[in-house]
Amino acid sequence: MTTLSEKVSEKVSQSAFDGSRLRVILLLDIHEGAQQRFLEAYEHLRSRVASVPGHISDQLCQSIENPSQWLITSEWESAPPFLAWVNSEAHVEMVQPLHSCVRDTRSLRFSILRETPGIGVHTPESPRSRLQSTPRIGDGVVRHALTFTVKPGSESKVAEILSGYRSPAARVDDTTSLRRTSLFLHGNRVVRAVEVQGDLIAALRHVAQQPEVRAVEEAINPYLEQDRDLADPDSARVFFTRAALPAVHRVASGPAEPADVERHALLYPVKPGCGMAVARLLALQEEQGANDPENPIVGSTIFQRDDIVVRMVDLRGPVERAPVPVVGVTGKRTAAVLTRLLDLPEGHSLTDHRGLLSFLAHADMSPLTDRRATDS
């Protein structure tokens, strides 16, 4: 079976599905006097982490220069099992005891490209697919999304609030800026996708502190299905953990986006337990389509957590003129497989043109805002 790591294209700037091992680095700043309490909490949960499928090893380190700075580095068989765990309710509950000890955290995730064993150290040979085969070409932009649901019946009010806010200042500091924010609504689910040049966490914190953004968040609070208090650090941390919708795959025709494109987002109605399979299948189709000069899609990003799968596409022309590449079903076999993974109405299929158009009509999310840094 062909893996994504064997089909790496220069057009692919991001992927969690290349089969390579994953190195996760968690930087922590611990409150003064809480070091021993933090260590005890870590000792209590590390055996539980070790039993998570896909986990290989981890190390806990303390700075020799500043005892308040700690580092947890872990290795995983690949990115998908880590993402499945870190975005789960089990993870939220597991790390709760650490929150009272920690002032600040930052998580970094890397595919392993090369490794050099120490002299005299014997390590078993790893399959080629476990190392990222070639460097990916990026555009310097980090993509992330948040998703949450609102109370049924409040959709029109929430859409009005989210459509009318004033954009915050794009510049965060000398190295970080907010490039683009796109909001979509489907039923009672909201998806907010952001594109950041530089440090994603710094940009998100910057945006959250802006008065215009805080006013909007306060305005929609009464309509959320899940209560939150963004003034409470623990409540905010739990909300943003549960709302996180990571970008797991990205393909673009080039670093610059043409002007004549339209942005859409599709929410896939995934059958229980099939979210990762759907995202992986779409990623493979994106990679194959990126090599087609006639492909109307100039950029595509897949966001996935559990069974929430959103594909955001930038394409030339209307969606209805290119249902096959927009849905991601090049070939009858792929269409049949995706049909089995989705919860479609009885008798509907992605293998025919009528079924594709019907799917697009139901899956295409309503755009609320799409603002670039240069927008007024």
What total of structural domains would you count in the chain?
2
- Pair 47, 190 in one domain: no
Residue 132 lies in a domain: no
- Pair 87, 168 in one domain: no
Residue 145 lies in a domain: yes
- Pair 68, 158 in one domain: no
The CATH number of the domain where 357 resides is what?
A: 3.30.70.100
Dihedral sign computed on CA atoms, order 50, 54, 57, 59: negative
Q: Of the candidates 93, 113, 133, which is a domain's last residue?
A: 113
The range of the structural domain enclosing residue 182 comes to 141-372
Could you please report the per-residue DSSP string of 234-290? HHHHHHHHHHEEEEEEEEESSSSPPSS-EEEEEEEEBPTT-HHHHHHHHHHHHHHHT
- Pair 354, 300 in one domain: yes
- Pair 158, 38 in one domain: no
- Pair 333, 279 in one domain: yes
Q: Of the candidates 72, 93, 113, which is a domain's last residue?
A: 113
- Pair 306, 350 in one domain: yes
- Pair 159, 256 in one domain: yes
- Pair 264, 227 in one domain: yes
Q: pTM of the full predicted structure? A: 0.88
Q: Of the candidates 113, 128, 160, which is a domain's last residue?
A: 113
Burial annotation 347-372 (CB, 10 A radius, 16+ → b, else e)? eebbeeeebbebbbeebbbeebbebe
- Pair 233, 347 in one domain: yes
Local confidence pLDDT in tens for the 376 residues of the chain? 444 444 444 565 688 998 899 999 999 999 999 999 999 999 988 888 999 999 999 999 999 999 999 999 999 999 999 999 998 888 888 888 888 899 888 899 999 998 887 665 445 554 444 888 777 777 888 999 999 999 999 999 999 999 987 777 788 888 898 889 999 999 999 999 999 988 888 888 888 778 888 889 899 999 999 888 887 877 787 888 889 999 999 988 765 566 678 899 999 999 999 999 999 999 988 877 777 777 888 889 999 999 999 999 999 888 888 899 999 998 889 999 999 999 999 888 999 999 999 999 999 999 999 988 754 4
- Pair 276, 355 in one domain: yes
